[in-house]
Amino acid sequence: MLLGTHSKLVMIGDSVTDCGRARPVGEGLFGAVGTGYASYVDALLAAAYPERGIRVVNMGCSGNTVLDLKARWQTDVIDLKPDWLSIMIGINDVWRQFDLPRQPECHVQLDTYAETLEALVTQTKPLVKGLVLMTPFFIEPNSADAMRARMDEYGVAVKAIARDHLLPCVDTQAAFDAVLNHIPSAAIAWDRVHPNHLGHMVLARAFLQAVGFAWSAQSTLMGHLS
């Protein structure tokens, strides 16, 4: 697995990451890491790789766009000195174009989104051991749906940045699409954005697959010895 012994993993994003995490820093006891996919990642890493002592820190903030991430990047990423960083942002950048269509000042257009995310990655990549990008998603199986189609465009931008920087990329939309072949979207997220426990496990599973997570004791032992 990519995350080594005593790695500090900071996971940053919007409400899907936030999920009630502690302030100012989402790490510690009593649900400090929140109730979403970050907490599942934390639990699964500790259960399968206890010898590595990996720390998971949740720095999601509800309502955030990529511009909000930029504004708090120094305090909520750089100052925390992560070994690994995951970024999942973009849902609100798209959503505001649909739920607040008459307020363009709330919208983050695709070019601004891509340029800002690219700049954050470029700034941070030399400071960490690893960086994982996660695409935004819309839990809607119809790819012709207007918001789903727009979200897919933002996902393509994330994949391009990951490719250019040779970074692991989690295609969260593809992960949800596989589940949506069998389970209706309303059974995962009533508003098609904020997942229930099933949806958060889909996200956690997709992230862990991207970093080489394995349940087997042999792979854990081999990773420890390496």
Instruction: Give the tens place of pLDDT for each residue, 45-100.
Output: 999 999 999 999 999 999 999 999 999 999 999 999 999 999 999 999 999 999 99
Tell me the CATH number at 82.
3.40.50.1110
- Tell me, yes or no, whether 3 lies in a domain: no
The four Cα atoms 62, 54, 45, 156 give a dihedral, to 10 degrees, of 50
Quick check: is 194 catalytic?
A: yes
- Residue 42 confidence (pLDDT): 98
Total domains in the chain come to 1
Residue among 99, 191, 197, 224 flagged as catalytic: 191
Which domain range does residue 154 map to? 8-225
Amino acid 225: pLDDT:
42
Per annotation, catalytic residue among 93, 171, 185, 194: 194
Residue 216 confidence class, pLDDT cut points 50, 70, 90? confident
Chain position carrying tokens 């389970």: 183
Give yes or no for residue 222 having a pLDDT over 60: no
The single residue of 15, 62, 83, 145 carrying the catalytic annotation is 15
- What separation in angstroms does the CA of 208 have from each of 34, 106, 140, 211, 219? 18, 33, 23, 5, 14
Place of tokens 């305090």: 75
Mean pLDDT of 200-223: 81
79 is annotated as an active-site residue: no
Residue 2 lies in a domain: no
Using an 8 Å Cβ cutoff, are 19 and 60 in contact? yes
| Per-residue pLDDT reduced to its tens digit, 151-199 | 999 999 999 999 999 999 999 999 999 999 999 999 999 999 999 999 9
Residue 114 is assigned to a structural domain of this protein: yes
Q: Provide, rounded to the nearest whole percent, the portion of the chain with pLDDT above 70.
A: 96
Decide if 182 is catalytic: no
Residue 167 inside a domain? The answer is yes
Q: Is residue 86 part of a domain?
A: yes
Residue 224 has pLDDT above 70, yes or no: no
What pTM was computed for the model?
Answer: 0.94
- Mean pLDDT of all residues in 195-221: 87
Q: What are the tens digits of pLDDT across the range 15-37?
A: 999 999 999 999 999 999 999 99
Q: Is residue 17 part of a domain?
A: yes
